[in-house]
Amino acid sequence: MDTAYAYSVSMSIRHGLLALLERGPRHGYQLRAEFDAATGETWPLNVGQVYSTLDRLERDGLVLQDGDPDADGRIAYRITDVGQAELRGWFGTPVSAKAAPRDELAIKLALAVTTPGVDVLRVVQLQRTATMSGLQELTRLKSRATDAEADLAWSLVLDSLLFRAEAEIRWLDHCEARVARAAARRPQNSVAAPATDQASRR
């Protein structure tokens, strides 16, 4: 996996935990449960991830242990002033498009267009079908969400994925139209099928 992307994921978990601690002191199990609830379990964390993130937050002075371990030996954490400043900074900064994993698709299509023997329209169609399947599944999940307050957070996460999938399909339509127009301008270069195998082997 792309390291810049992995970095952005771990930063999101960090800030997610800080946001939960902003509500009051919590221990790791509680943080995991609340993180999963807030993101509709689309991004499940394991408890090891939670504790290693808490260790790093503590090392950086963003959280502190809050008193002694409880009867079950669990340690609660609370957010520090530095942690609160960090959290405000996070909410105040737009997410960089640089870390978007879908850049892989843009790169793949750019290469498909410039690699001889690749059936670009087939690559586009395979992607569109896959993205459409995803959009169908998200729509099914969304149709189950109610208007209840508790479903709002979950529903917003789904919306974000839905809009992204929809935008991707629109972009694929655009790519297809442009490739077709370009091909119409130079008919002698039309390339045939071996690319289909290549594409489906992804």
Partner 1 sequence: MSAPVLLLSDVTREHRQGDTVVHALRGIDLAVHAGELVAVMGPSGSGKSTLLHIAGGLDTPTSGRVLVEDRDLATLSATQVAAVRRRSVGYVFQDLNLLPSLSAVENVALPLELDGVRGGMARRAARAALDEVGVGALAGRFPDDMSGGQQQRVAIARALVGPRRLLLADEPTGALDSQTGEEVLRVLRARCEAGAAGVLVTHEARHAAWADRVVFLRDGVVVDQSGPALAAESLLPAGGAG
Q: Site for partner 1 (CB under 8 A): which residue of 177, 182, 193, 200?
A: 177
Interface with partner 1 includes 107 (CB under 8 A)?
no
Interface with partner 1 includes 17 (CB under 8 A)?
no
Pair type for strands 63-65 and 26-27: unpaired
How many whole angstroms separate alpha carbon 21 and alpha carbon 53?
Answer: 13
What are the structure tokens assigned to 125, written together?
Answer: 């169609």
User: In the chain, what are the helix, strand and coil shares in percent, each to the nearest 5?
Assistant: 70, 5, 25
Q: Site for partner 1 (CB under 8 A): which residue of 141, 145, 183, 191?
A: 141
Q: Site for partner 1 (CB under 8 A): which residue of 33, 113, 145, 162?
A: 162
Which region, judged by CB under 8 A, interacts with partner 1, from 58-66, 74-82, 112-120, 129-137?
A: 129-137
Nearest CB to partner 1, comparing residues 35 and 77: 35
Which region, judged by CB under 8 A, interacts with partner 1, from 15-23, 61-69, 108-116, 128-136?
A: 128-136
Long-range contact pairs involving 39-44 (C-beta distance under 8 Å, separation at least 24): 39/153, 39/154, 39/157, 40/153, 40/154, 40/155, 40/157, 40/158, 42/154, 42/157, 42/158, 42/161
How many whole angstroms separate alpha carbon 116 and alpha carbon 95?
Answer: 36
How many whole angstroms separate alpha carbon 182 and alpha carbon 113?
Answer: 11
Q: Site for partner 1 (CB under 8 A): which residue of 115, 136, 160, 200?
A: 136
Interface with partner 1 includes 138 (CB under 8 A)?
yes
Interface with partner 1 includes 125 (CB under 8 A)?
yes
Which region, judged by CB under 8 A, interacts with partner 1, from 4-12, 69-77, 108-116, 183-191?
A: 4-12
Phi/psi zone of residue 118: left (φ > 0), alpha (ψ -120 to 50 degrees), beta? beta
CB 145 within 8 A of CB 154: yes
Q: Site for partner 1 (CB under 8 A): which residue of 11, 37, 44, 95?
A: 44
User: Footprint of partner 1 on this chain (CB under 8 A)?
Assistant: 1, 5-6, 9, 42-46, 48-49, 101, 125-126, 128-130, 132-141, 143, 161-162, 165-166, 169-170, 173, 177
